[in-house]
């Protein structure tokens, strides 16, 4: 009996040891698993931090590129801005007036002796050479939109004479046209002036006598050569009206007389 009890006691001890060993093994596995999980978390955090750094660099790079973009756009837009000096060989006949007045259409029609409409506003300069019987006339049209008007005066000293074009039917803008015309005539009190009261074919157009009064042409100086023509360009491709041909002949005469 005693031997039997001893055997049972040993069996219990062995079972306890097995259970204890099993518990240690389980705890070891839990600890190892925890360590591995901790390492994995660390690796994941490292990856996230590295990703954030990369994203931060990309964002900074994008911001830098975006910051530089307006400068690129700004530099590319300078192609439409007026340069300091226009391309020229000799003194030229200046053609000025508000945007939409019809400056380009008049120039092209005079050059071709046929009506040539132009719908696109001039951005910057439009240089046109027109042949006459005796010589060649060089015209320089400068854009009439607001950004270009501030540079008109600086070219007066380079002009043989000034052609100023107004839209006879655009009554609301005649005071604005008058303001700029008088600024030009005050800046150069002797430059010959030819005014085109354009678009006379429109029903709302002012007669040239009304244009003379609206622009205050009697105030531009008594010592100046001044001429006013009522002009129009009607059917595209047709011969220019006689008034435009007369104006062309007069301009050639005035240009030839300038020393």
Annotated binding residues for GTP, written as ranges, equal: 97-104, 144
Gyration radius of the chain over CA positions: 43
CA dist., res. 247 & res. 230, Å (int) = 10
3-state secondary structure of 114: strand
* DSSP letter, residue 203: T
What number of helices (H) and strands (E) belong to the chain?
A: 6, 6
CA dist., res. 237 & res. 12, Å (int) = 121
For residues 121 and 145, the answer to whether their CB atoms sit within 8 Å is yes
Per DSSP (E only), the strands in the chain are: 92-96, 125-131, 136-142, 159-167, 193-198, 226-230
For residues 197 and 174, the answer to whether their CB atoms sit within 8 Å is no
For residues 219 and 251, the answer to whether their CB atoms sit within 8 Å is no
Binding site for Mg(2+), residues? Answer: 104, 122
CA dist., res. 209 & res. 222, Å (int) = 18
User: Going by C-beta distance under 8 Å and a sequence separation of 6 or more, which residues neighbour residue 89?
Assistant: 138
Binding site, residues? Answer: 97-104, 122, 144
């Amino acid at each position: 009996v005693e031997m039997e009890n001893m055997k049972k006691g040993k069996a219990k001890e062995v079972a306890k040891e097995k259970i204890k060993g099993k518990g240690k093994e389980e705890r070891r596995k839990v600890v190892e698993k925890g360590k591995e999980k901790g390492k994995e978390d660390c690796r994941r955090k490292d990856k996230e931090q590295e990703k954030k750094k990369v994203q931060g660099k990309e964002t900074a790079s994008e911001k830098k590129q975006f910051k530089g973009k307006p400068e690129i756009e700004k530099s590319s837009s300078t192609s439409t801005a007026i340069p300091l000096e226009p391309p020229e060989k000799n003194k030229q006949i200046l053609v000025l007036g508000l945007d939409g007045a019809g400056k380009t259409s008049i120039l092209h029609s005079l050059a071709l002796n046929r009506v040539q409409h132009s719908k696109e506003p001039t951005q910057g300069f439009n240089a046109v050479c027109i042949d006459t019987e005796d010589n060649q006339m060089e015209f320089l049209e400068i854009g009439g939109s607001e950004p270009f008007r501030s540079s008109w005066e600086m070219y007066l000293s380079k002009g043989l004479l000034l052609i100023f074009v107004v839209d006879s039917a655009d009554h609301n803008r005649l005071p604005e046209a008058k303001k700029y015309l008088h600024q030009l005539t005050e800046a150069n009190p002797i430059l010959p002036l030819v005014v085109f009261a354009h678009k006379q074919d429109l029903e709302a157009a002012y007669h040239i006598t009304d244009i003379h009064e609206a622009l205050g042409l009697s105030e531009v100086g008594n010592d100046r050569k001044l001429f006013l023509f009522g002009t129009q360009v009607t059917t595209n491709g047709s011969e220019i009206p006689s008034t435009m041909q007369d104006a062309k002949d007069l301009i050639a005469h005035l240009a030839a007389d300038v020393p």
